[in-house]
């Protein structure tokens, strides 16, 4: 996990979606190490997933606008504010060319990678704006800007996600809200190792490195970055 000795996020309320996922656990712990109050949401999550008293588990469903609204309402009711929203939720499907890819796969990828972000953004932006220094960081993918064969549905959904975040960055920059996307290559998570056991894991992106970048974007220096699409590819350059 990220070892952050400086409590530079003390007093900040941070919402992490997918907080107990392969990347989400690293992001959540990084913010806890930095002194933040972290609300972690996922379909199945519990307080015992993290040992810090600054962690609040918030089971939630982000597959609908109503579910996302309920999550944000609970954050507002409990803490009265939201300083940082980090979106790590997503999914992957691939293996077939465009003409052979079922329409349901495209719908699934957009539901997981685009709609879930859209629903939370619409609910969270008004609360983030109250602090006049809100941050939104979404985890995209290298495929959003560098698509390859047989991953059309995944790449298109991530590209749409990036476009949405860039629009948010422009629409709310005068109000002090900053929105950025990090674009990892293949992340070294247990799930990816299981799915691709014969791959050279040393070329993959360390999830702690991604968590550190997200933490930096949420900090004081990150105020100068808005509308960014920041690559973090590891050795897969």
pTM: 0.93
Tell me whether residue 104 is exposed, middle or buried, using C-beta atoms within 10 angstroms of its C-beta: 0 to 12, 13 to 18, 19 or more: exposed
In a domain, 3, yes or no: no
In a domain, 7, yes or no: no
Per-residue confidence in pLDDT tens, the chain, 237 aa: 444 445 789 999 999 999 999 999 999 999 999 999 999 999 999 999 999 999 999 999 999 999 999 999 999 999 999 999 999 999 999 899 999 999 999 999 999 999 999 999 999 999 999 998 999 999 999 999 999 999 999 999 999 999 999 999 999 999 999 999 999 988 878 788 888 888 878 888 899 999 999 999 999 999 999 999 999 988 776
**52 within 8 A of 40, measured Cβ to Cβ:** no
Domain limits for position 155? 13-232
Give the Å distances, CA to CA, from 68 to 26, 59, 137, 151.
22, 11, 17, 28
Tally of domains within the chain: 1
**16 within 8 A of 86, measured Cβ to Cβ:** yes
CATH code for the domain of 90: 3.40.50.720
In a domain, 8, yes or no: no
**36 within 8 A of 85, measured Cβ to Cβ:** no
In a domain, 23, yes or no: yes
Structure tokens at 88: 């790590």
């Amino acid at each position: 996990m990220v070892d952050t000795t400086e409590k530079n996020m003390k007093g900040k309320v941070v919402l992490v979606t997918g907080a107990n996922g392969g990347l989400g656990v690293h992001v959540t712990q990084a913010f806890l190490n930095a002194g933040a109050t972290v609300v972690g949401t996922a379909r199945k999550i519990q307080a015992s997933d993290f040992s810090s008293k600054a962690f609040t588990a918030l089971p939630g469903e982000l597959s609908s606008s109503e579910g996302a609204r309920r999550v944000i309402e609970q954050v507002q009711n409990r803490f009265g504010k939201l300083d940082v929203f980090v979106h790590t939720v997503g999914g992957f499907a691939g293996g077939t060319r465009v003409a052979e890819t079922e329409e349901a796969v495209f719908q699934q990828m957009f539901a997981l990678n685009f709609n879930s972000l859209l629903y939370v953004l619409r609910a969270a932006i008004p609360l983030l704006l109250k602090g006049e220094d809100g941050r939104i960081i979404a985890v995209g993918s290298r495929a959003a800007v560098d698509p390859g064969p047989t991953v059309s549905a995944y790449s298109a959904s991530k590209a749409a996600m990036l476009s949405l975040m860039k629009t948010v960055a422009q629409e709310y920059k005068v109000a002090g809200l900053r929105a950025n996307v990090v674009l990892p290559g293949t992340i070294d998570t247990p799930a990816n190792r299981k799915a691709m056991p014969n791959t050279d894991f040393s070329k993959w992106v360390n999830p702690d490195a991604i968590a550190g970048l997200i933490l930096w974007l949420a900090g004081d220096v990150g105020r100068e970055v808005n509308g960014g699409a920041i690559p973090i590819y590891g050795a897969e350059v």
